[in-house]
Amino acid sequence: MSDIRVPGFKSSEVIALLDKHFNAYSADEKAALIKKVNGVFQFVIKNAQGKEEVFTIDCKKEGKVVRGKGAVKADAIITIGDQDFVDLADGKLNGQKAYMSGKLKIKGQMMLAMKLDNVFKSIKPESKL
């Protein structure tokens, strides 16, 4: 398992945690998550310095997390700030409010973004950042 954390991106800590959990899932747990979510999320995350990183969470085919664009085409491309991503994953930021206020932008299947909670819930007990 390669480390996908990126210096200067707090969000990459959350992504790395997701990666750790996805890799620890049994085949059945992974299949259940894929069945529940059935989508590929690509995150374009901008940090305070204006740098961008891309991460892809595949909850459709393989149930894995990668840095960069994944092998599977994204169903939803979400553009969000670094701290906003951390707050969203932690449950401190409501996705709908973030979208309405322009903190979060979605291209592709907007309804799929509603299922992001299922992905973040998989790391909730551990994610206190």
pTM of the predicted model as reported, rounded to 2 decimal places: 0.91
Residue 95 three-state SS: helix
Contact 74, 108 (CB under 8 A): yes
Phi, psi of 45 (to 5 degrees): -115, 130
Q: Which of 84, 5, 19 is nearest to 47 (CA)?
A: 84
Strand partners, 78: 43, 106
pLDDT band at 127 (very low <50, low <70, confident <90, very high): very low
pLDDT of 13-34, one tens digit each? Answer: 999 999 999 999 999 999 999 9
Dihedral sign for Cα atoms in the order 81, 128, 8, 49? positive
Going from the N-terminus, what domains does the chain have, and what CATH number goes with each? 11-119 (3.30.1050.10)
